[in-house]
Amino acid sequence: MRKYLLIGVSAFVLGAGTMAYVSPIAQATIPSQKAKTYKLLELFGDVLATVEDQYVTEVDDKKLIEAALDGMLTSLDPHSGYLSPDSFEDMQDTTRGEYGGLGIEVTSEEGVVKVISPMDGTPADRAGIQAGDYITAVNGQSVLGLTVNEAVKQMRGPAGETVTITIAREKTDPFDVKLVREVIKPKAAIARMEGDYGYVRLPGFNEKSTDALSASIKDLQAKNPKMKGLVFDLRNNPGGLLDQARGVADLFLEGGEVVSQRGRNPRDIQRLNATPGDILNGLPMVVLINQGSASAAEIVAGALQDRHRAELVGITSFGKGSVQTVIPLRGGADGALKLTTARYFTPSGRSIQKTGIEPDLEVAQTKDQAQDIANRVWFSEASFKNALNADEGKTRKGAHVPAEAPPAGFDEKKDDFQLSRALAVLKAGSVEAVPKLPKPQPKIAEVTAKAAAAGGKPPVEKK
């Protein structure tokens, strides 16, 4: 069975001649377990027949069974699911790097569609859609309770058509956003110079990412032979293909491990390594991350941090540390299973599932973001009730005051504070050497912390 790689594959096939000893106890247990399974499958058939016979309107058997398959898989974790033939084709278009739609990376949380991040240069990005926004309706039709695939299908369509999505966002009333569909061609890499230092942004990990990033860096080097270092921006990068994560990390590493993935069997470990050759020839690097950096982006950031190739600036990443294998059914004619088959681990052996990658220098992008970090738990992998736990049983860092935030007088609309701090780190030589800014002082966080320390409840904010 051919398996399509979304973020990695962990599969072993036993030949027909394989033999195994089955003890008498096991022989007695297996039929008993199978009998229970067959009884439950019979129950499923009974329920389907009853719905067909007695539901208030005519039903579509195919739609019901596909929904049941998806429900079974999504009950395992937020990233497993059933892809119908159309959805499987859409997924293949996405990983190839070109498709039609609005440019939003989404997931599902208890029947609600939630934004992981908008994609650079897309209608959603230009309209100001944010990570953590809920999409509650499309063209006035509620998408509550729909699967992600069903909701996405409503948002995709012919380029040039207008789509209205209803957004629910914390601290605001629900509002409508009108977007015009485009053929989405995510930019594989964006490059420029920031003074003496190069800047490269990677918006995602599709089939073109490694080659495009390599070409962008080589172009910067050719035009700026005295370039002193590089800022590598992985903010709001939702991830993608595992082989591209390995390829991108490989550009900067002189061999050694990039990532390992481990399945149900503790001995089932697959390691992906880099090859010799650093495209920057040892020039210093800083990687920018934030809460929208997920999956493949976290693999790269974690590898460069663990291997001491780069220091990280920004805020803690999303925390998606699991590997999904996409398994076509009957060659894709019956769709595909998207199944979580392993966790991935950074070179030092860290599982970042739920916990995320913590930066070496924590920097909030805005004063409002610093206030939010200090007063609430941000949307992340840990927000999902059925998310896999970190292998070590670690938990994500809770609400806290970040190390740095824009000082008074900094123009947040014109300038990129996290980028400015990344450049300061490069100029100083390290996070340790860069002059630190005064720690921000979110007022509500101070009151809450004092109340908690006193064993009481924080005061209720009046509006």
Round to whole Å and give the CA distance between 103 and 68.
28
Which segments in the chain show pLDDT lower than 50? 1-26, 445-463
- Same domain? 119 vs 222: no
- Same domain? 194 vs 170: no
Round to whole Å and give the CA distance between 62 and 60.
6
What's residue 120's pLDDT? Answer: 78
- Same domain? 380 vs 302: yes
Q: How many domains does the chain have?
A: 2
Question: Looking at 320, 338, 354, 380, which residue is catalytic?
Answer: 320
What's residue 443's pLDDT? Answer: 64
- Same domain? 384 vs 352: yes
- Same domain? 199 vs 327: yes
What's residue 362's pLDDT? Answer: 97
- 394 catalytic? Reply is no
What's residue 394's pLDDT? Answer: 80
What's residue 91's pLDDT? Answer: 78
Per-residue pLDDT reduced to its tens digit, 226-271: 999 999 999 989 888 899 999 999 999 999 999 999 988 878 899 9
Question: Looking at 295, 317, 322, 351, which residue is catalytic?
Answer: 295
Domain's final residue, options 158, 184, 210: 184
Range of the domain at 110: 101-184
DSSP string over 224-289: -TT---EEEE-TT---B-HHHHHHHHHHH-SSEEEEEEE-SSTT-EEEEEE-S--TTTT--EEEEE
- Same domain? 173 vs 204: no
- Same domain? 318 vs 385: yes
CATH of residue 176's domain is: 2.30.42.10
- 306 catalytic? Reply is yes
What's residue 219's pLDDT? Answer: 96
- 53 catalytic? Reply is no
The model carries a pTM of 0.75
Task: Tell me if 454 is assigned to some domain.
Answer: no
Task: Tell me if 368 is assigned to some domain.
Answer: yes
Task: Tell me if 7 is assigned to some domain.
Answer: no
CATH of residue 371's domain is: 3.90.226.10
Question: Looking at 293, 306, 322, 351, which residue is catalytic?
Answer: 306
Domain's final residue, options 184, 199, 228: 184
What's residue 9's pLDDT? Answer: 28
What's residue 138's pLDDT? Answer: 93
What's residue 30's pLDDT? Answer: 55
What's residue 375's pLDDT? Answer: 87
Domain's final residue, options 135, 167, 184: 184
Of 444, 321, 447, the residue nearest 388 (C-alpha): 321
